[in-house]
Amino acid sequence: MADSCPNIRLYGAARYHKTRYYMEFMDGKSVPYVFRDVEAHEEYAQELRALYKNVKLNFPTLMVGEKRLRNPSEKEVRKWIAPRLAKSNMVL
């Protein structure tokens, strides 16, 4: 899902359960985000590597604006996404 709330990006691989967990969580709450499959697109893999000093594919990684969340808990996801949604008159 992507659209009205830019700057929420999920880096991961569609075949991994943790990536799917975040996708299902955000889809279920109608949270707009951009999914970047690092296995299917080398450019997304390079973007993800650039986020970490170790240049590894540390996924799933959720970017909320400039905040990097590596394998966050649901509580952390809510904490960082809710204010962005409020700016767009959306509720989590």
Tell me, yes or no, whether 1 lies in a domain. no
pLDDT at 14 over 60: yes
pLDDT at 55 over 70: yes
Give yes or no for a contact between 85 and 5, defined as CB atoms under 8 angstroms apart: yes
CATH number at residue 64: 3.40.30.10
Position 30 scores a pLDDT of 87
- What is the distance between the alpha carbons of residues 24 and 48, in angstroms, rounded to a whole number? 21
Give yes or no for a contact between 12 and 38, defined as CB atoms under 8 angstroms apart: yes
Tell me, yes or no, whether 53 lies in a domain. yes
- Residue burial 55-78, b: 16+ Cβ < 10 Å; e: rest: eebbbbbbbbeeebbeebeeeebe
Tell me, yes or no, whether 81 lies in a domain. yes
Tell me, yes or no, whether 77 lies in a domain. yes
Q: Model-level pTM?
A: 0.85
Mapped onto helix, strand or coil, the DSSP state of residue 53 is: coil
Position 1 confidence tier, pLDDT thresholds 50, 70, 90: very low
- Total domains in the chain come to 1
Strand pairing of 34-37 and 8-12?
Answer: parallel
Domain interval for residue 43 = 8-87
Tell me, yes or no, whether 22 lies in a domain. yes
Give yes or no for a contact between 60 and 10, defined as CB atoms under 8 angstroms apart: yes
